[in-house]
């Protein structure tokens, strides 16, 4: 099922004509589609923010499955695909709300340039946000204000107010995700330790000589996390992003090689996995403050 517009979304869910062509708030309890009879694979051109209390069967994002818990909120960006697999032996009524909007709604607004900064639109389903009762009330209030605007006659203030409330919703979600990172700090610390061990093992096994410098995506995959979630987890836990940790590890090795061998800068760069020695020298000077040769000569 490919959904390009708000109108197509309403048709797919057995709802009437939308109140606005570019945005809608859906009460999932009022949808008439029979989720228990057939599977759904949905590709959408819309942004979606969904608070789902119960879900029949299981949901898949890509190849990963996720069992929703009460008070879970998930995010969808244009181009993403999700799949619902029904489970007739354990059917639950679908409850909650969904805010869906087309990218055209944000055109010429400041949010259109900033929405890419909300990394949680790229998180996997198993990295969804779990809300407290108080947090749910806050988001529900924001949704009610958007519904208020949709229920009234559209005027010059309608779209700016709707977009302002979408941005408010996203800012609250950012705050709540930060809270989730903090409350999961002990659990996340284990991810940091595993990341550092995998980074060390990568270079101890000299994998970089064949495959080059590992990126954030490599370690995210090793830890079964999405790259954006992994990056945010590392930054929230350590104050530095994942790539900074990788570069710091490599540059420490580089400093040791510069001081303990007579290898040329080019040789050290290739040994550490750099395809271009100039790139190695540029990163070294940016992070250390001097060029590799200056560092060797000063020490």
From the number of C-beta atoms within 10 Å of its C-beta (0-12, 13-18, 19+), residue 72 rates as buried
CATH number of 220's domain:
1.10.10.60
- Is 95 within 8 Å of 46 (Cβ atoms)? no
Backbone angles phi, psi at 109, to 5 degrees: -105, 160
CATH number of 57's domain:
2.60.120
User: What residues in the chain have per-residue pLDDT under 50?
Assistant: 34-37, 56-57, 59-68, 89-92
Domain count across the chain: 2
Range(s) of the domain holding residue 278: 186-298
Clarify whether residues 141 and 176 are in a common domain.
yes
Last residue of a domain, one of 183, 200, 233: 183
Give the pLDDT confidence of 267-286 residue by residue, as tens digits: 999 999 999 999 999 999 99
Clarify whether residues 255 and 286 are in a common domain.
yes
- Is 46 within 8 Å of 108 (Cβ atoms)? no
Clarify whether residues 154 and 191 are in a common domain.
no
Clarify whether residues 152 and 197 are in a common domain.
no
pLDDT at 128: 86
Clarify whether residues 195 and 158 are in a common domain.
no
Alpha-carbon distances, residue 126 vs 18, 57, 64, 67 (angstroms) = 30, 15, 8, 8
d(CA 123, CA 126): 8
Alpha-carbon distances, residue 119 vs 107, 186, 226, 227, 233 (angstroms) = 20, 22, 10, 10, 11
Give the pLDDT confidence of 51-75 residue by residue, as tens digits: 976 554 454 444 444 444 557 898 9
pLDDT at 36: 44
Last residue of a domain, one of 183, 207, 222: 183
The 8 Å CB, 24+ separation contacts for 237-240 are 237/181, 237/185, 237/188, 237/189, 237/191, 237/192, 238/192
Clarify whether residues 162 and 231 are in a common domain.
no
Clarify whether residues 190 and 176 are in a common domain.
no
pLDDT at 63: 45
pLDDT at 56: 47
pTM value surpassing 0.85? no
pLDDT at 40: 63
pLDDT at 34: 45
Clarify whether residues 143 and 266 are in a common domain.
no
From the number of C-beta atoms within 10 Å of its C-beta (0-12, 13-18, 19+), residue 85 rates as middle
């Amino acid at each position: 099922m490919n959904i390009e517009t708000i109108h197509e979304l309403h048709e797919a869910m057995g709802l009437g004509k939308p109140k606005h062509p570019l945005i809608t708030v859906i009460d999932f309890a009022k949808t008439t589609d029979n989720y228990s009879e057939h599977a759904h694979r949905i590709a959408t051109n819309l942004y979606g923010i969904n608070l789902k209390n119960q879900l029949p069967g299981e949901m898949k994002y890509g190849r990963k499955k996720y069992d929703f818990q009460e008070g879970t909120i998930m995010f969808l960006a244009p181009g993403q695909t999700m799949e619902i697999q029904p489970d007739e032996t354990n059917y639950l009524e679908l409850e909650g709300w969904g805010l869906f909007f087309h990218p055209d709604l944000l055109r010429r607004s400041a949010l259109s340039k900033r929405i890419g900064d909300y990394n949680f639109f790229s998180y996997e389903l198993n990295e969804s946000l779990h809300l407290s009762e108080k947090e749910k009330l806050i988001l529900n209030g924001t949704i009610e204000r958007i519904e208020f605007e949709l229920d009234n006659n559209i005027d010059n203030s309608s779209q700016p107010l709707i977009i302002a409330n979408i941005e408010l919703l996203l800012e609250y979600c950012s705050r709540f995700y930060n809270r989730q990172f903090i409350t999961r700090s002990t659990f996340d610390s284990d991810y940091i330790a595993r990341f550092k061990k995998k980074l060390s093992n990568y270079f101890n096994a000299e994998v970089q000589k064949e495959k080059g410098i590992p990126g954030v995506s490599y370690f995210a995959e090793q830890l079964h996390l999405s790259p954006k979630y992994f990056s945010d987890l590392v930054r929230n836990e350590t104050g530095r992003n994942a790539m900074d940790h990788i570069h710091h590890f490599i540059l420490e090795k580089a400093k040791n090689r510069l001081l303990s061998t007579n290898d040329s800068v080019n040789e050290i760069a290739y040994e550490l996995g750099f395809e271009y020695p100039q790139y190695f020298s540029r990163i070294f000077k940016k992070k250390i403050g001097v060029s590799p040769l200056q560092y060797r000569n000063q020490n």
